[in-house]
Structure 1
Amino acid sequence: MIVIILQKKSYLEKIFHNDVYGDYKYFPKSELNTIKTTIIHPATEKHIVKFSVQKCYIVDETPQIYNDIILPHLFREQFNLQWVYNILEHKSEVERIVLEDVDPDNGFVMVPDLKWNGDVDTLYLLAIINKRNIKSLRDLTQEHLPLLRNIKEKGIVSLIQHL
C-alpha cells in the first residue's frame, strides 16, 4: 500500500470518480514523475483485505461445493455493485465508455478497467453486461453464447477502429 503525502507544490488531478472508487493522477513537485493512483474512499475492511497480500488456494470445485460453499460465500462477501450500475445508467464514467450496445439481452458497456495503466500495449478493458442476473462465469449457459459472441465481435471491431 502506498501512502501519498500532499505537499504545497503537489496536487491531485481527478480522472474519474464512481461511487467509492476514484482514479487520480498525483503530481508531486515538478522535479518528480507523475504517479497514477486509485483512491477508495471510504475504504471498508473488505477493500483493505482485497488489496492486501493473501494466500491463494486451488480448489477442485464440484457443483455441490459451488452450491454449498462458494455461492453462500459470494452472497455474504459481495461488494456493493453501485459502481457497476452507475456505469450502466450513465451516472458515472460516461466519458470513459469505449463501446456500448444497449440491447437488453446481448448488450454491454465496455470501459477501461482500473487495473489498466494507460499504456496502449497493455490495454485492459472491462465488459459490463446489461443483464443483472449473472453473478459469475458459473452462471453462464449455452443460452448466453449470443451475448459472449456479441462482446467478442463488437469488442474486436471497436479495438481495430481505435488503433
Structure 2
Amino acid sequence: MAAETDRPAPEALISAFEPDRLLKQDQSGRRIAILGTIHGKQGILTAERAAFATESPEVLKAFHAAITQVTNLGDNDIYRWYLASSGGTNNVTAAAAAQQPPDLKLNLIWPCTESHIKKYSEQVVRMVTETPEIYHDHVRPYMSAKREEGRLNWVFNILEGRTEQEDVILRDEGHRGGAGVAGEYHYDDAFLMLPDLNWDRKTMGSLHLLALVQRRDIWSLRDLKKKHVPWLKYLRQRLLEGTVKMYPELEKDQLKLYVHYQPTYYHFHIHVVNVMLEAGATQATGKAFGLENIISQLETISGDEEAGMADVSLTYFLGEASELWTNVYGPLKRGEKPQAG
C-alpha cells in the first residue's frame, strides 16, 4: 500500500516532464511527440491541439473574441491570410503572452460568394466518372462560364506582378529552343512558385507550395496533350530544383507533385508538398493526380501529339452541394437531362 501512496499524481507527471528533443510532428504541425525524462527515466509526451468547440453560435463568438496578436501574412483580391493566437493566456502575464508563438493559421475570404459557402460547408461526397463526352458537352462549358465570372483575378494579379511578388520563391521566364531535359524543343511558357496560403511558411513537415503557369490556354489537366510532355518534365525538374534550393533541409525525393481535378479554379497549377504531410481530402484518391503519373499516361496514350487527357475517362469525387453535381451528375444519375452545357 505504501508504494501506491508514494506514486505521484498523474497531473504532477506533466510538470515533472523535462523535454529533451522532438521525435515527430504530424497532422500539419498539430500533433507532436517529445522525448524527455521524468525523475531520470525516459518518457514520451505526445500533444495534440484540441478540437474547436462548435456547439453553439455563442461558443463560436467566444472563440472569435479570444483571437489576439493577429499578424497579416498577405492578401490578394478577396483572399487574406494571417497568423494569430487563440487567447489561451489567462494564467500568464501580458509580456509572457506576447512572447508566445501564434497557434492559429487564419484564412479570410471576403466578400465570399455562394460557391465559397458551398465549398466550405459539410456535405455528402459522391464518386463520379467523367467520360470524354460528359467533359466536352457539359463540364467544359461549365469551366468556361466560371472563368468568365472573373474568378481568376487573384491568379492574374500574381502572374502580372500586382500582388504577392515578395512571396515568389521561383520565377522562370521560359526558354526558347536549346537542349532541355528531353532534347531540343521550345519553352514559351514561364511560371512562378510561391507558398500555398494554407502553409504557415515555416513547418517543413507540412510544406505546401503552388506553381502557377503563365500560359492561359491550359485550364486543367484535361487540356494536357502528348505534345506537352517535354514541358511537363521541365516543370517537374525546375520545381524540384527550386524547392530544395530554397529549403536545403529537404531533398527531391521528399517532395510530392500533384494536380487537382476538379481544381478549385481553372488555371493550370501544380501543388508541391512534403511527402510526410498527412494526406487529407485534397490529396486523396479522386482529387489529387500525381504529376509523374499524368506524364506517364500521356506518354503511353494512343494517338498523335494532339491526343491527351480530354480523350480519357476520369473518376473523382464531388460534394453534393457543388454545381457540377446539382447541374450535371445528379441529373445524369436520375436519368434526366443535365442543366449545364
CA RMSD in angstroms comes to: 2.4
In structure 2, the residue matched to 1:56 is 125
In structure 1, the residue matched to 2:228 is 144
Letter of the 1:157 partner, please give it: E
CA distance change for structure 1 residues 77 and 56 in 2, over 3 Å: closer, same or farther? farther
1:12 counterpart = 2:79: no
Identify which of 168, 175, 180 aligns with 1:97. 168
- Which stretch of structure 1 is more off in the superposition, 43-52 or 99-108? 99-108
In structure 2, the residue matched to 1:44 is 113
Question: Shift of residue 59 of structure 1?
Answer: 2.0
Identify which of 20, 23, 35 aligns with 2:81. 23
- Which stretch of structure 1 is more off in the superposition, 143-152 or 92-101? 143-152
Is the contact made by 1:105 and 1:130 (CA closer than 8 Å) also made in structure 2? no
Distance 1:151 1:116 in 2: 22
Distance 1:109 1:28 in 2: 34
Identify which of 204, 228, 249 aligns with 1:120. 204
TM-superposition CA deviations, 1:120-139 (whole Å, max 9, x none): 11211111001011111000
Question: Shift of residue 74 of structure 1?
Answer: 2.2
TM-superposition CA deviations, 1:16-64 (whole Å, max 9, x none): 0001101111234472753111001111111111112233222222111
Residue correspondences, number: 162
**Which secondary structure does the structure 1 equivalent of 2:126 belong to?**
coil
Q: Which of structures 1 and 2 has the larger relative contact order (alpha carbons within 8 angstroms, sep 6+)?
A: 2
Distance 2:219 2:116 in 1: 19
**Which secondary structure does the structure 2 equivalent of 1:59 belong to?**
strand
Distance 1:30 1:12 in 2: 14
Which structure: larger Rg?
Answer: 2
Question: Shift of residue 154 of structure 1?
Answer: 0.9
In structure 2, the residue matched to 1:131 is 215
Question: Shift of residue 6 of structure 1?
Answer: 4.2
Unaligned runs of 5+ in 2: 1-53, 55-59, 90-96, 175-186, 249-341
- Which stretch of structure 1 is more off in the superposition, 125-134 or 138-147? 138-147
What TM-score does the superposition give when structure 2 sets the normalisation length?
Answer: 0.43
Unaligned runs of 5+ in 1: none
What TM-score does the superposition give when structure 1 sets the normalisation length?
Answer: 0.86
In structure 1, the residue matched to 2:239 is 155
Identity %: 33
In structure 2, the residue matched to 1:75 is 144
